[in-house]
């Protein structure tokens, strides 16, 4: 856990870190936590992208997606629906 927090601190601004940490705090889905750990680099890259900042951060979107929704395929299973919810995917 400390490695994750250190990675977040070193790679995200406080505002972006708060978005990720709030999503982690709001979830009790172990698969979501595992997904974040396995994909932290992708998540940080997305949160730092100009597309994210223009589409979600500058508009003060209440639930910005943690990964780019244009580049993910999720099937309709319950597991995937819960993961999509935790990732704030539209």
Q: What distance in Å separates the CA atoms of residue 57 and residue 65, rounded to the nearest whole number?
A: 10
Average pLDDT over residues 11-32: 96
> Does residue 1 contact residue 21 with C-beta atoms inside 8 Å?
no
Burial of 59 (0-12, 13-18, 19+ CB in 10 A): exposed
pTM: 0.88
Picking from 18, 64, 68, the residue whose alpha carbon sits closest to that of residue 42 is 68
Boundaries of domain holding 81: 2-86
pLDDT in tens, 35-89: 999 999 999 999 999 999 999 999 999 999 999 988 876 665 666 888 889 999 8
What is the total count of domains within the chain? Answer: 1
What mean pLDDT do residues 21-48 have? Answer: 95
DSSP 3-state of 73: coil
Instruction: State pLDDT tens for residues 1-15.
Output: 689 899 999 999 999
């Amino acid at each position: 856990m400390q490695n994750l927090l250190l990675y977040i601190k070193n790679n995200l601004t406080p505002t972006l870190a708060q978005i990720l940490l709030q999503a982690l705090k709001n979830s009790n889905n172990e698969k979501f936590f595992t997904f974040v750990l396995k994909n932290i680099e992708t998540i940080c890259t997305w949160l730092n992208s100009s597309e994210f900042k223009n589409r979600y951060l500058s508009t003060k979107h209440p639930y910005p997606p943690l990964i780019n929704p244009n580049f993910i395929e999720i099937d309709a299973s319950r597991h995937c629906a819960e993961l999509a919810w935790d990732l704030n995917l539209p």
